Amino acid sequence: MPERTAGAAAAELHLHTEADLIAVRRAARRLAEALGFPVTDTTEIVTAVTEIARNITAHAGRGVVSLAAEPRDGRTALVVRAVDEGPGISDVARALEDGYTTTGGLGLGLPGARRLMDRLDIETRPGRGTVVQMWKWVSGGG
Partner 1 sequence: MAAEQGGLTGEFSTDYTAALRRYLRTGAEAELQAAHDLGRRALQRQVSILEVVEQHTRVLEQQGADARAALPFLLQTLAALDVAVRGYAEGARRYEQQRARAESLQDRDTFRTALVNALQEGFFVAGADGTVVEINDAFAEITGYGPDGLPYRWPHPWLPDPDRLRDRLGAGAEAGRAQAELQIRHRNGHLAWVAVSMSAVAGDGRTFVGTLRDITAARKAAARDSALMRLATAAGVATSVGEVLAIALEECRTAIDARRLVAVSWPDGDAEPVLQVVGEPADRPDFDEPLRAVLRRARDWPPLTVAPVPAADDPGASRGVVAVLSGTPVTVLWLEHRVPRPVSTDGRRLLAALVGHLSLAVQHVRHFETAREASLTLQRAMLPGDRPPPGFAVRYEPAVPPLEVGGDWYDVLPLDDHRIGIIVGDCVGRGLPAAAVMGQLRSSARALLLTGEEPARLLEHLDTVAEHIPGAYCATVFLAVLDCRTGRLRYSNAGHVPAVLAAPGAPPVLLDASGSVPLGIRRRRGRPQSDVTLPAGAALLAYTDGLVERRGSAIDDGIAHAGRVLAALPGAAAETVAERVLAELAPPGGYDDDVAIVVYRHGPAPLHLDVPAVPERLADIRARLADWLCAAGVDQPLHGDVVLAVNEAATNSIEHAYRGRPPGRVRVDAEFDGTRLCLRVADTGAWQPPDPAPRARGRGLPMMRAVSAGVTVRSTADGTTVEMVFAVGAPGTEPAADSASLHT
Cβ 2 vs Cβ 27: under 8 Å: yes
- Least Å from the CB of residue 129 to partner 1: 26
- Least Å from the CB of residue 108 to partner 1: 6
Which residue, 12 or 70, is less far from partner 1 as judged by CB?
12
- Least Å from the CB of residue 42 to partner 1: 8
Which residue, 35 or 88, is less far from partner 1 as judged by CB?
35
3-state secondary structure of 106: coil
Q: What is the spatial distance between Cα 133 and Cα 142, in angstroms, rounded to a whole number?
A: 20
Concatenated DSSP letters for 56-105? IIIIIS-EEEEEEEEEETTEEEEEEEEEE-S---S-HHHHTSTT--SSSS
**DSSP class of residue 138?**
P
Contact set with partner 1 (CB under 8 A): 21-22, 25-26, 29, 39-40, 42-44, 46-47, 50, 98, 106, 108, 111-112, 115-116
Which residue, 42 or 130, is less far from partner 1 as judged by CB?
42
